[in-house]
């Protein structure tokens, strides 16, 4: 039986950073075999943008890189912990918000920072919020998320190798 790993990327609004991560991961999974079935989603800890598509600047950056991006923003809830194996927060504030609503210690342990998987993180563990800045911020977000996902894919692949 094929093992399934369920991953959820979480930022604040679910319109900039986490849809970028979901899109990159889904795109990469389309042509990389991890030896495990992986399902990806994204969500926000906030509810301001629920029902909205990803920010146009995030969509433009993804299109420039050849990565399809779609989706509708939704808010992460305590019930979601049961649905995911790994919950990856884009920054420390969102990691703390997620751990704050985790129903138990096992759920809280599913929460990690995405940049734990970024080999270039160098102590800076947050993917900065690009919402109030210019398009350059979206380019930087894409690059650090892309690097992190390379690390994440290696982690999931090696964690499940030989099972
Ligand atoms: P995200 O960016 O968390 O990467 O989706 C943001 C989107 C909206 C807001 C903040 C961050 N906002 O304050 O509305």
**Rounded Cα–Cα distance for residues 124 and 107 (Å):** 25
**Beta strands of the chain (E only): which ranges?**
4-11, 37-44, 86-89, 111-113
For residues 31-48, average pLDDT: 93
**Quick check: is 129 catalytic?**
yes
pLDDT at 150: 96
**Quick check: is 17 catalytic?**
yes
**Does 10 contact ligand 1 (Cβ within 6 A)?**
no
Per the model's pLDDT, the better-predicted residue between 36 and 82 turns out to be 82
Q: Which of 10, 12, 58 to mutate to test the pocket of ligand 1 (most atoms within 8 A of CB)?
A: 12
pLDDT at 163: 54
Q: Which fold has domain 4-157?
A: Rossmann fold (3.40.50)
Gyration radius from the chain CA atoms:
15
For residues 142-156, average pLDDT: 96
pLDDT at 35: 84
For residues 114-132, average pLDDT: 97
pLDDT at 32: 86
pLDDT at 160: 66
Average pLDDT, the chain: 95
Q: Per-residue confidence at 3, pLDDT binned at 50, 70, 90?
A: confident
In the chain, what percentage of residues exceed pLDDT 70? 96
* Chain centre distance of CA 75: 14
pLDDT at 8: 98
- For residue 43, the SS3 value is strand
pLDDT at 2: 63
For the chain, the domains span 4-157
For residues 59-70, average pLDDT: 97
Q: 44 near 76, Cβ under 8 Å?
A: yes
**Quick check: is 28 catalytic?**
no
136's enclosing H/E stretch is helix 135-160
Q: Which atom of ligand 1 lies at the shortest distance from residue 73's CA? A: 5
Q: Which residues contact 51 (CB under 8 A, 6 or more apart)?
A: 72, 73, 74
């Amino acid at each position: 039986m094929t093992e399934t790993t369920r991953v959820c990327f979480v930022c604040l609004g679910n319109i900039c950073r986490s849809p970028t991560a979901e899109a990159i991961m889904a795109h990469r999974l389309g042509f990389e075999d991890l030896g495990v079935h992986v399902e990806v989603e994204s969500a926000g800890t906030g509810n301001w943008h629920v029902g909205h598509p990803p920010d146009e600047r995030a969509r433009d950056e993804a299109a420039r890189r050849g990565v399809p991006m779609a989706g509708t923003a939704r808010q992460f809830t305590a019930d979601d912990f049961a649905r995911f194996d790994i919950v990856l927060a884009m920054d420390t504030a969102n990691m703390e918000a997620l751990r704050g609503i985790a129903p138990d210690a096992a759920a809280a342990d599913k929460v990690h920072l995405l940049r734990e998987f970024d080999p270039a993180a160098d102590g800076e563990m947050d993917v900065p919020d690009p919402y109030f800045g210019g398009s350059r911020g979206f380019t930087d977000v894409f690059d650090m998320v892309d690097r992190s996902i390379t690390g994440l894919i290696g982690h999931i692949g090696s964690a499940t190798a030989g099972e």
